[in-house]
Amino acid sequence: MLGRVVGATTPLQRGFEELKKRAVEWPAGLPKPDRFPATLKEFLRLIVKAKTPADCMPRLLRFLREGYSSPPWRAREKSYTADEAEVKAYDEMQAITEADKQGGYFTKLQWLMLASEYRDWWRDLKSAQARESAAKRKSAG
């Protein structure tokens, strides 16, 4: 093999190694439960983190509902009407609570996907609220 240096890797090999590394590493800043499957209570405490526990469920339901009605941030095959999205969100919550009775709903993959989606959704929502608030202050002043 002319021109090949021992230990050198191709860009494809380096890319594959990077993907393997990412698959093993936990995303920075994403809270992780002590064990899997994790429970809804852990998801609410570690990911949703509303001001009060009573605020967690409505916020999570809103997240699920918006994920069904406006799928750009959530990998869905289609958008649903508001009524359909409401039903889908409640069905998903029912599935989560039923699985909790068996020891937990969130596998590692489910946690990674939903927690990442929630984090992005919450960040985007807070940014939109901040922009709206700033625009109101600017127009009032």
Could you read off the pLDDT of 49-81 as tens digits, one per residue?
Answer: 999 889 999 999 999 999 888 765 555 567 788
pLDDT bracket for residue 136 (50, 70, 90): confident
Residue of 49, 20, 26, 48 lying closest to 109 (CA atoms): 26
Q: With left for phi above 0 and alpha for psi between -120 and 50, is residue 50 left, alpha or beta? A: beta
| Cis before 71 (ω within 30) | no
> How crowded is residue 3: how many other Cβ atoms within 10 Å of its Cβ?
5
Stated pTM of the model: 0.75
Question: pLDDT at position 20, please?
Answer: 63
The answer on pLDDT for 11 being more than 50 is: yes
Question: pLDDT at position 25, please?
Answer: 80
Estimate the crossing angle of helix 53-69 against helix 108-140, to 10 degrees.
90
